A and B are shown apart, each in its own frame.
Chain A
Amino acid sequence: MKEAYITGVGQSEVGVRLTRSPMGLTMDAIRQALDDAGLTFDQIDGVASYPGKAHGYLGFSPIGVDEVIEVCGIKARWHMGAGEIPAQLSAIAEAANAVKTGQARHIICFRTVYEAAAMSRPDEFPPLRRDFVDGSSQWTAPFFAISAACWVAQYANRHMQRYGMTREQLAQISLNANRNALLNPNARAITKKVLTIDDYMESRLITTPFCLHDCDRFTDCSTVIIVSAGDALDEVSASPVRIAATAGAVHRHSWDQAEWMASYDTGPDLWAKTDYTAKDVDTVQFYDGFAFFPITWLEALGFCQVGEGHKFVEGGTRIARDGELPLNTAGGQIGAGRLHGFGFAHEAVTQLRGKAGERQIPGDPKVAVATSGGGPLAAALLLARD
C-alpha cells in the first residue's frame, strides 16, 4: 500500500461576522493550499469535507463537496462529504485511505464554518430550529441542555469530583491558548489581549465548571488540507508531512448515554497502528471546543495516566511552546476561533515544517498529533516528517 502525505495547507481570513461569502472563503483557502503544494486544479482528483453541507443549519457547514467540484472544475475520481464518521479530522483520514489505495492522487480536504456570519444574517442563513427536536438531541435539548457545553461540563465536573481537578488547573488550557494566539496572525480577530488568571476566574460562568474563556466562539473561516499519494510527491513542491497513522472510535454515539468519551478508545488505537510512541511526539494540537477536552486527550493518548491530565497542565509550563509537550501552538479554537477540527491539522503541519514564525516551537519537531472531537466524536492523526 502507498503512503499518504499532507502536501499543502491553506486558511482563509479568520473572522467574526465576515461579509465575504462562504464559497469565497473556501476558494481563498483552496488557492492558498494549492499554491503551498505547487499544484493546480487539473491535478486534483478528489475532494473531501466534514460533515457535508448542513442544509438545516447552513452556518455550521455552508459549502458542499459537490459545489467545490463544480466551481473548481475538478474531475473527481473520489469524493466524500460525510458527518457519520468518527469526527472532523476523519475526512482527512478517509482521504489518506483513498490515496493509499489508489483511488485518487491529490485530494482537497476542506472545512468551512460560517456560524458567526450566519447568526448576523438569519434571513440568508436560517438558524437551527429549536422548537422541535429529534435524533439524539431529543434526549438533552428538552432539558435546556442545548449547547455541547452543557454535556461536556458534566464530564468535566465528574473529573473534578473523582480526581480533584481544580478550576485553576483547567484554566491553563485557556491561558496557554491565549499566549499562543497572540503570536498567531490568523487569530487577530479572535484574541486581542492578554488573559490573566484573574480575568479567567472573574469571567462569567456558562455552565459549571466552564466560564466564558473555557469555550470556543463562533468563527467564519475555511481551512484546507491537501492529501497526496506517496507516489505523486514528484508533482509537489512543498515539503510533505506523512500521515503516519489515523484513528477514530465510537462505542455509543450518544452524548447522554456514553459513560466516557470516545477519545479514550481512539488514543490507544492510534498507537496500535504505528511504531511511534507518545515519547516521540514533539507537539500536540488537541481539539479544544471546550477547555476540558485537551486534558482528556492527554490522558487518552497516554501522555499521562487517566485522571492525571489536570496535573500535567498545572502551571502551564509543560504545555507551553518551550515546554516538554507544546500544546495548541496556534491558540487552538479557544484562542484562534472555532475552525472545527481542521485548524489542528493545519497547525501541526505548519510546526513540523518550521513555518510557524513567532510561535514556532524550538528544536526540530518531527512528530505531531492532531485530534478533533470530544464526547462521542473522536479522531486522531499522527503526522510525521520522516
Chain B
Amino acid sequence: MSVKRPRPRLDADNRPFWTGGDAKNDGGKLYITHCGDCGEWTHPPRQFCRHCQSENVAPEAVPGTGRIDTLTVNHQAWMPGLEVPFVIARVALDGVPGVVLTTNIVGCAVDEVAFDDRVRVTFEEQDGVWFPLFEKVS
C-alpha cells in the first residue's frame, strides 16, 4: 500500500482518535469515546454519549486488542499505485462492547487472516495522522 492513505479531516470530535497513536500519548494508544455517566462507548466519536445523551464523555485509552469480526481480501486497486491484495477487516475491540473498527490487517500474508483471529493495534503515521492498523497476535 505504497500510496498515501486518504486523510481524515481532523476536528474536535475525531482528533483524539486519529492522533492517539502518537508516542507522546503514553507511548501511543487507541482512544475511544467513553461516557462518564453510563459507562458505555460511542464510536464514531462525538461530544455526546449515543446511549444516554450525556455530554460527560471523554476519549479513553483502550487495550488495543481485539478479534476479527469479518474481513475481505481486496484485490482491486481503487487508486493508482495501490498495491494489492490486502486485507480489510472489522475488528471487535476488547473491553469496548459494541464498537468495531474497519481497518487493515498487516504483517502477514492475506491468506493467513481468518475470522476470530486475535489481533493487536499498530499505528502507521502519515502527515500527523496515526492510522490504527492491526496485526495478528502470535
Among residues 336 to 366 in chain A, which have CB atoms less than 8 Å away from a CB atom of chain B?
none
Pairwise interchain contact A136-B72, C-beta atoms closer than 8 A = no
In the bound complex, how far is the Cα of B1 from the Cα of A260, in angstroms? 29
Q: Does B131 sit within 8 A of A, measured CB to CB?
A: yes
Q: Looking at chain B's contact residues, is the secondary structure mostly helix, strand, loop, or mixed?
A: strand
Closest residue on chain A to residue B88 by CB atoms: A145
Which of A147, A151, A157, A255 touches B76 (beta carbons < 8 Å)? A147
Are A138 and B100 in touch, CB under 8 angstroms? no
Task: Tell whether A130 pairs with B76 under 8 Å between CB atoms, given A142-B5, A154-B71, A154-B89.
Answer: no
Q: Which of B43, B44, B129 has the most CB of A within 10 A?
A: B44
Chain A residues with CB below 8 A from B71, complex form = 154, 157
Contacts of A147 in B (CB 8 A): 76, 78
Q: Contacts A139-B44, A139-B102, A208-B73; is A144 near B7 (CB within 8 Å)?
A: no
Given A153-B72, A157-B71, check contact A143 B100 (CB 8 Å).
Answer: no
- Asked whether, in the complex, the Cβ of A150 is within 8 Å of the Cβ of B70, the reply is no
Task: Tell me, yes or no, whether B4 is within 8 Å of chain A by CB.
Answer: yes
**Interface hits, A122-161 → B, CB 8 Å:** 130-134, 136-147, 149-151, 153-155, 157-158, 161
* A149, A155, A205, most chain B CB atoms within 10 A: A205
Asked if B24 is at the interface of the complex by the 8 Å CB criterion, the answer is no
Residues from chain B with a CB closer than 8 A to the CB of A138 are 8-9, 14, 44
Separation of A384 and B82 alpha carbons in the complex (Å): 48
Decide yes or no whether B101 CB sits under 8 A from chain A: yes
Judge whether B51 is part of the interface by a CB distance below 8 angstroms: no
Q: Are A142 and B44 in contact (CB under 8 A)?
A: no
Within 8 A of B (CB), among A238-264: 254-257
B67 within 8 A of A: no
Minimum C-beta distance from B54 to chain A (A): 19
Residue of A nearest to B85 (CB): A205
Are A257 and B99 closer than 8 Å at their CB atoms?
A: yes
Residue B79, interface by CB 8 Å: yes
Cβ B70 vs Cβ A154 within 8 A = yes
Minimum distance in angstroms from B96 CB to a CB of chain A = 12
Interface string of B71-109 (1 = CB under 8 A from A): 111111011001000101110000000011111100000
- The closest CB in chain A to the CB of B5 belongs to A142
Count class of interface residues, chain B: 35 or more
CB distance from B65 to the nearest CB of A (A): 18
Q: State whether the Cβ of A72 lies closer than 8 Å to any Cβ in chain B.
A: no
How far is the CB of B47 from the nearest CB of chain A, in Å? 16
Asked whether B7 lies within 8 Å of A143 as measured between CB atoms, the reply is no
Decide yes or no whether B6 CB sits under 8 A from chain A.
Answer: yes
Q: Which residue of chain B is the closest to A215 with respect to CB atoms?
A: B76
Cβ of B131 and Cβ of A205 under 8 Å apart?
no
17 contacts between A and B (CB under 8 A): A130-B79, A132-B7, A132-B8, A134-B9, A141-B6, A142-B8, A144-B74, A145-B74, A145-B102, A147-B78, A154-B89, A157-B72, A161-B115, A207-B88, A208-B73, A255-B102, A257-B99
| Given pairs A132-B8, A146-B6, A150-B74, 19 additional interface contacts (CB within 8 A) | A132-B6, A132-B9, A133-B7, A134-B9, A136-B44, A141-B6, A142-B7, A142-B129, A143-B131, A144-B74, A144-B82, A157-B71, A157-B72, A207-B75, A207-B76, A210-B72, A257-B44, A257-B99, A257-B100
- List residues of B whose CB falls within 8 A of some A CB: 1, 4-9, 14, 43-44, 69-76, 78-79, 82, 86, 88-90, 99-104, 115, 129, 131, 133
Q: Which 9 A-B pairs have the closest CB atoms?
A: A153-B72, A138-B8, A141-B6, A146-B78, A158-B70, A205-B75, A134-B9, A256-B102, A207-B74
